[in-house]
Structure 1
Amino acid sequence: MRFYLSWLVFFLVSFYSVAKDTPPFFRHDNSPELGLMANFKASALCEVAEGTHNYIQQFSDDKFAVHAGTVFDDEVTLTRVEKTLAFICQTYRADVRAKRNSRLHEPEFLRKHFDFYRWTPDRATAQAIAKKSTNAVKSRMLNAIPQDKIFLTKYYTKLLKASAVKTAEYNQALYALPYDEAGISLAEANKDLSLTRHQYTRQQVIAGVLEQNKLAKPLIWLTEEALHDVLLQGTGVVEVNGVRRYFNVHRNNGVAYDYAIGKREQARYWYFAEVPSIMGYGETLLSKIALAPQVAFAGNVAQLGLGKLFMVSYQQQGQRVSRLGVLADQGGAFDNNLFQLDLLVDSYYGWQDYHQANKHLADYAQAWLMLVKPAH
């Protein structure tokens, strides 16, 4: 018994020491390093902030996303998040009425009106993922995350070359939700594992199981490479007769995204729907938040909570640049991920034009959560 008690005391002391020595991921910072506020439009920031704020107010029962965050102290509340989103648009509109440049681009204005919380990345989790990854570049990038910077990735909506009918080149469909799920709510459909959506992996769909059995409607036809890209990025953009059309992920087959493997090996498969613009987070297709390039982040909504305003800072052509964006999107890659934000940049046909337009952006950046000060 004495041995058991001694072991228990040792375990508790050891556990407490480890917990005590583990730094929080966010700390209040009285001296944030703000650079030239650039590469974003205040009008677009307001659009995303307002859309996200509306979601928070209308869907307060979405406990996955609508909360203060699980990794912050008591200073971070959902009320302050909402006030921050509202303040962004109040400031933008006041500046428009006064016919002056946006104060959201002025470092002194931001210091005066916002509290800053410095983000220290969870490098231990990133390195654990790197060990399991079969992608050498991904492993290298994850292992190289600095102690004081997050991994700043970029995502884009895929500009697609498509066909209205199947051809030898465009032989993979972007499928709408299977016919047997029409009119069924997401909650009901997720419980009914007999539905078509739950039956097949990406590889089986690509092999033709839906087409052969006429289980779902093809929206458009793509190349296989384009299909993998749009499944990864979540949104496809197509020019049809001079009109830009948008297709967004709707519901998936329930298979988790595996961060350690490449896009072609993923078993997760998404069904799509046509939407009016680039869409971000939302429990249902109709509730999704409309996004704008350069001011929207995808990230760990489950732990950070929807609607957080982040500032990221990095060196660009020898100068410190800072920019603002709202956490308004998420994805499977962010499960248990407190080391990364993904910036929506724009729409591109592929890697080459994306890289040419964004090669100046850093891979790692200092990051701060921003909340409007309580007086506002």
Structure 2
Amino acid sequence: MLNKVLLLLVILFSHTSFAFTFSIVKDPDLGVMKNFKASQLCAVAENTQHYLNTYAEDTFAVKVGHVFEDKISLQQVKDTLTFICDTYRDDVRAKRQSRLHNIEFLKQHFTFYRWMPDVKTAKAIAQKSNNEVKSRLLNNIPNDQIFLTKYYTKTLSASPVKTAEFNQALYALPYDEKGLSLEQADENKALTRFKYTRQEVIAGALLKNNLAKPLVWISEESLHDVLLQGTGVLTVNNEIRYFNVHRNNGIAYDYSIGKREQARYWYFAEVPSIMGYGKTLASKIAVKPHVTFAGNVKELGLGKLFLVSFIQEGEQVSRMGVLADQGGAFDNNLFQLDLLVDSYKGWEDYHQANKTMPDYAQAWLLIRK
């Protein structure tokens, strides 16, 4: 691989807790492009570009990203997303196979920035973790591959009323926050939302004092899963309904502990589909499986087009996706992307569908030439 790499540009960003590099690669070795639909990639690209164009005031996400300052522009990011959909639609009109699956086409039209991960921070987190599997995975991140995790929405059974089995609620925002913008609410730490940990809510603090409306009832195990994944695909009286995280209690996600021990708690809202990033509920980006990445939006900037490549069942496979989602696990994390894979009933279904995907992958940022 080294003889194929031409380091025309090195972007080096240093911080007390991490260091990483992005470098232009002239002729990346990609294998075959597969396991994603160009139509869905276009949909997520278009939805994300709409956010970039509409919510410029969201400076947390709508920016080129600290990683790429003075190297690429936000307009180039937007142009890249536009090119994805232009190419897809041209191919549909021409009734030909999508050129987004053609490696030579990609090399001709995109500049590839190879991502070398922040292994130092990953190892520091591994030392603190009490989860043996997580520690092993973090310690084993190669110097030239990112940690590629997979996330999914759970298809769960739920009840409109509390029962012995479905005894935990997804709660709407507490009543004392009704009508407040996120900025207004975040200035008032005396609000109900900031008072209780996950464990206190599970123990009944909100229900006992009638502080928030239960939207739907699920099991405790399902609650932990939905809080971790951010979205619940719930069957309620034979109807599929979607619930998405809305605002949290202000407690940071602790990467070193398991899901049941997390004190962070999210309040929910019902939404029309699976949703990704958005500063407000109304602005959240509708996302699609297999073409959506969650990652460090704060540092990388929303809307980046990433390509990941790995060996799967003896074949080198590559696929593309848009950074259109985030999560607490990505704070101070520049060693990982999380691929939205699909909706499953549980771990066994998820594992069966994704067991041949590796834990690490080569990764590139793609920018339209």
Which TM bucket (shorter chain)? over 0.9
Matched, 1:229 2:225: yes
Give the C-alpha shift of residue 75 in structure 1.
2.9
Paired amino acid for 1:323: R
Matched, 1:270 2:282: no
Q: Which residue of 2 aligns with 1:149?
A: 145
Counterpart selection for 2:302 from 286, 295, 306:
306
Q: Which residue of 2 aligns with 1:340?
A: 336
Q: Which residue of 2 aligns with 1:360?
A: 356
Counterpart selection for 2:236 from 221, 235, 240:
240
Distance in 2 between residues matched to 1:206 and 1:23, nearest whole Å: 39
Paired amino acid for 1:253: N
Q: Which residue of 2 aligns with 1:125?
A: 121
Distance in 1 between residues matched to 2:239 and 2:93, nearest whole Å: 33
Taking only the aligned residue pairs, the percentage that are identical comes to 69
Distance in 2 between residues matched to 1:317 and 1:24, nearest whole Å: 29
Which protein is bigger by CA-based radius of gyration?
1
Matched, 1:330 2:330: no
Q: Which residue of 2 aligns with 1:164?
A: 160
Give the C-alpha shift of residue 61 in structure 1.
1.2
Distance in 2 between residues matched to 1:55 and 1:185, nearest whole Å: 18
Give the C-alpha shift of residue 241 in structure 1.
4.2
Paired amino acid for 1:137: V
Counterpart selection for 1:295 from 291, 302, 306:
291
Runs of 4+ in 1 over 6 A off after TM superposition: none
What is the TM-score normalised by the length of structure 2? Answer: 0.94
SS at match of 1:322: strand
Give the C-alpha shift of residue 243 in structure 1.
3.0
Q: Which residue of 2 aligns with 1:195?
A: 191
Paired amino acid for 2:132: A
Give the C-alpha shift of residue 242 in structure 1.
4.0
Give the C-alpha shift of residue 162 in structure 1.
1.0
Q: Which residue of 2 aligns with 1:87?
A: 83
Residues 8-57 of structure 1 deviation map (CA, whole Å, 9 limit, x = unaligned)? xxxxxxxxxx99xx975200111211111001000000000000000001
Distance in 2 between residues matched to 1:242 and 1:215, nearest whole Å: 29
Paired amino acid for 2:315: Q
Moved more, 98-107 or 29-38: 29-38
Distance in 1 between residues matched to 2:349 and 2:162, nearest whole Å: 26
SS at match of 1:285: coil
Q: Which residue of 2 aligns with 1:11?
A: none
Give ranges in structure 2 of 5+ residues lacking alignment: 1-13
Matches within 5 A, 1:11-90: 24-72=20-68, 74-90=70-86
Paired amino acid for 1:367: A
Decide whether aligned partners of structure 1 residues 264 and 31 sit closer, same or farther in structure 2, where only a CA change above 3 A counts.
same
Give ranges in structure 1 of 5+ residues lacking alignment: 1-17
Residues 254-311 of structure 1 deviation map (CA, whole Å, 9 limit, x = unaligned)? 0000001110110000000000000000000000000000000000000000000000
Distance in 1 between residues matched to 2:348 and 2:173, nearest whole Å: 32
Q: Which residue of 1 aligns with 2:110?
A: 114
What is the TM-score normalised by the length of structure 1? Answer: 0.92
Residues 151-183 of structure 1 deviation map (CA, whole Å, 9 limit, x = unaligned)? 000000111111111111111111111111111
Distance in 2 between residues matched to 1:193 and 1:122, nearest whole Å: 34
SS at match of 2:202: helix
SS at match of 1:161: strand
